[in-house]
């Protein structure tokens, strides 16, 4: 199953976006293997939020994959977070 979430015209500088929060709830409900995004900064532009998301998803066994960077790892989070 594929689910899509979007926050059109909303800054990724804040995690308080309806689509982002809906994606987190969907992941918490289980059955998610991968979160796919265009780029890591489409999920968050805040390094602390990016690191927290990466850690939370990793704990749940969910990988982050982006079209631009491929599968996200610790190095990506450290370099790409702003």
At 3, is the pLDDT very low, low, confident or very high (cuts 50, 70, 90)? confident
Q: Give the tens place of pLDDT for each residue, 41-82.
A: 888 888 888 899 999 999 999 999 999 999 999 888 877 654
- Decide if 22 is inside a domain: no
Q: C-alpha 39: how far from its chain's center?
A: 9
Cβ atoms 42, 35 nearer than 8 A: no
- Decide if 65 is inside a domain: yes
Domain range holding 53? 32-80
> What predicted TM-score, i.e. pTM, was given to this entire model?
0.83
Angle at the Cα of 37 (from 60 to 61), degrees rounded to 5? 10
- Decide if 13 is inside a domain: no
Q: What is the total count of domains within the chain?
A: 1
Count CA atoms closer than 13 A to 72's CA, side-chain side.
30
Q: Give the tens place of pLDDT for each residue, 26-45.
A: 999 998 999 999 999 888 88
- Decide if 24 is inside a domain: no
Angle at the Cα of 35 (from 47 to 70), degrees rounded to 5? 75
**What is the per-residue pLDDT for 57?**
95
- Decide if 20 is inside a domain: no
- Decide if 73 is inside a domain: yes
- Decide if 72 is inside a domain: yes
**What is the per-residue pLDDT for 68?**
93
């Amino acid at each position: 199953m594929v689910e899509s979430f979007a926050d059109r015209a909303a800054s990724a500088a804040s995690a308080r976006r309806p689509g982002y929060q809906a994606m987190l709830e969907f992941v918490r409900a289980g059955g998610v293997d991968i979160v796919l995004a265009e780029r890591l900064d489409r999920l968050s532009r805040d390094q602390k939020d990016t690191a927290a998301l990466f850690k939370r998803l990793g704990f749940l066994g969910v990988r982050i994959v982006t079209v631009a960077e491929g599968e996200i790892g610790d190095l990506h989070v450290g370099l790409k977070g702003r």
